[in-house]
Amino acid sequence: MVKRSNISILLFFLIIPILPSTVSPYVLPSSQIIAFMSNKFATVRTLTITQHTNVRDIHQEKAKAFSEFVSLRSPYLYRSEIPDQPGKRLIIHNGLETLKIIDKKITYDGASYDLIYHFLFLSHDPSQLLKMLQGVGINTEKTSLTRFEGKIAYLIGEKNEGSARLIIDKELFLPLFLKYGDYRFRFSDYSEYMEHVWHPFQIVYSYKGKITEEYTIMDIRANLPIDVSIFDIPLIRNKFIQSELRQQKE
């Protein structure tokens, strides 16, 4: 009996390593993933950025390259402009509203979601950030593990390739990729610009595969005071219209 028992025990330990593993790795829920990510930027209330912008449009023969100055303020305030060239390219986002002035013409004035990626890198209440992701069609009830450019990452959203999704580095909890609708954003070249705070110094934005904008950050500073009035869309729209009327009269 003792020998038979010993043989049974030996067979048990030999068979166990051979059996296929049926235990799936534990994946954090989206609420915890977003909370960890948000904590990375908890101290960032404002950002002022100088960046090099390269715009490629498949309908244009040449790419456009220029410098931009970007102002961001938590939770949902954004402004970018070309220094010393008023009206050349001015984009303002406030809440859900966006105003775009290109070559001294209002090219867009209304609700827009194409700039929300900026707010991933500011101080945010995680629950509000989840609502923002849900608002652009990301299924925050679904999370899984994936690989992105050789890195193990969390995927928030459906697994199928065409679905809206946010991909976050599993170890660092930094955003790597965001997709919703016809918009795609890729974040890379993270650098520490203040203690324990990182930002992607290379961002690639594409729309319908037709327009691609590449942003390379040249300088970035956090928590400088920013006047809220520079994000006032009705005020700026009115000033622009009045200026255009004066020029037409002249």
Q: What is the pLDDT of residue 19?
A: 46
In a domain, 235, yes or no: yes
Domain hosting 122: range is 25-249
Q: How many domains does the chain have?
A: 1
211 pLDDT band (50/70/90 cuts)? confident
Q: pTM here?
A: 0.85
Q: What is the pLDDT of residue 161?
A: 83
Of 93, 89, 50, which Cα lies nearest the Cα of 74?
93
pLDDT tens sequence across 213-230: 999 999 999 999 999 999
Question: Domain with 75 in it: what CATH number?
Answer: 2.50.20.10
In a domain, 193, yes or no: yes
16 pLDDT band (50/70/90 cuts)? very low
Q: What is the pLDDT of residue 168?
A: 98
In a domain, 221, yes or no: yes
Mean pLDDT of the region 75-88: 92
In a domain, 15, yes or no: no
- Dig out the tokens for 20 from the structure: 């296929």
pLDDT tens sequence across 177-193: 999 999 999 999 999 99
Q: What is the pLDDT of residue 57?
A: 83
**β-strand partners of 204:** 186, 214
The overall average pLDDT reported for the chain is: 89
Percent with pLDDT over 70 in the chain:
89
61 pLDDT band (50/70/90 cuts)? low
In a domain, 141, yes or no: yes
pLDDT tens sequence across 162-179: 899 999 999 999 999 999
